[in-house]
Amino acid sequence: MRVTQSADVDLNLLLALDVLLEEQSVQGAARRLHLSEPAMSRTLGRIRKALGDPVLVRAGRRMVPTPRALAVRAEVGAVVERARAVFTPADTDLTTVVRTFSILGHDAIAAAHGPALLARAAAEAPGVRLRFLSESHLDGPFLREGTADLEVGVIDTTSPEVRTELLLDDRMVGVCRPGHPLLDGELTPERFARDADHLIVSRRGRLHGPVDTALAELGLERRVVGTVGSLPSSLFVLRDTDLVGLDTGWGAPLARSLGLVHFDVPLALPPLRLGMAWHPRYEADPAHAWLRKVVREVLVP
C-alpha cells in the first residue's frame, strides 16, 4: 500500500478499511465499529484521501469496491489479522470475540450442517457470524485474497501456500424418490443406465461426469436430461420427478429430511475426499483454530 505521508496516517484506518470492504456499506461498517454513520462517512473520506482512490462507489442502492480497493483487500485483511494476533492472548475467550468468518463450500455443507455450525457459534462464540459462500463456476484465489476464511469440500487447490486438512473419505450414492422403479430387484449397471433418466449436479453446467466415465468403461451410456448448479436444488427436483441423481454422505441429512431414498450405485466410482483449506495467515489465530475445530467436529461423524 503506497502512502506518501505514512507518518500522518492513522493506522486505525486499516481496521476501518477492512470492515468497510467486508460490509460494503457505511451503515454496516458503522454498526460493526460502534460509530455513528456521519463519523463512519468521515472515516471513509480520510481513507479515500490516504489512498487517493474512492474505495467504495455507489452502484444503484449499494456500494461496490473499486479495482484499487479489491487489489489491496487481501493485504489489508492480512495486516489486520496479524495485528489481532499480536494483541490476542493464546487463551482467547471466545465469548468476547467479534468476527465474521466466510466459509466457501458446496451448498450441501450449509444446507445440511449450517444449523449445527450456527448453533455451536451461538453457544461458544456469540460474537461470531458465519457467512456461507457458494462455490463459483470460476476458480479463483479466494483464500489468498481474503474472500473466504475457510474452504470446505473437495479441495483441489494447487496453491503451495494453502494449508489443507483431510476430514474424511466419502463416496457418491444414488438418490431418488421413494417407490422409484429402479429400487425394485437387483440393480445392475445395465439397469442403472437403461431404466432411469438422470440429473447431474455441476456448478459449471457439465452434462458428463465420473458416472459416465465408469459406464463407458462397461460399454454403457445413460440418458442425462438436465443439470443443476447445486446439490440441494437437485434434491427438490428428484423429490418431485422420476429422475435419478447422486448424493454424498455430507449431504445425506438434507436428502433424508426431504424423504428421499439412497441406494448403492453399481459402479466403481472414485472416492470424494472431503477436507478444508485455509491461508497460513490464520494458522496461529485462536478464533480461526476454533472455527476449524467446530467444522471438523460437525462434519466428521
Domains along the chain with CATH numbers: 1-87 (1.10.10.10), 91-155+278-301 (3.40.190.10), 173-270 (3.40.190.10)
- How many CB atoms within 10 Å of residue 262? 15
pLDDT of res. 88: 60
pLDDT of res. 265: 95
pLDDT of res. 144: 78
d(CA 104, CA 162): 14
pLDDT of res. 223: 96
pLDDT of res. 158: 62
* Average pLDDT per 10 consecutive residues for the chain, totaling 301 residues: 47 86 88 88 91 90 87 80 66 84 89 93 95 73 82 78 88 95 95 96 86 96 94 94 92 89 93 89 89 94 69
β partners of residue 224: 198
0.85 surpassed by pTM: no
pLDDT of res. 193: 96
233 phi and psi angles, rounded to 5 deg = -65, -35
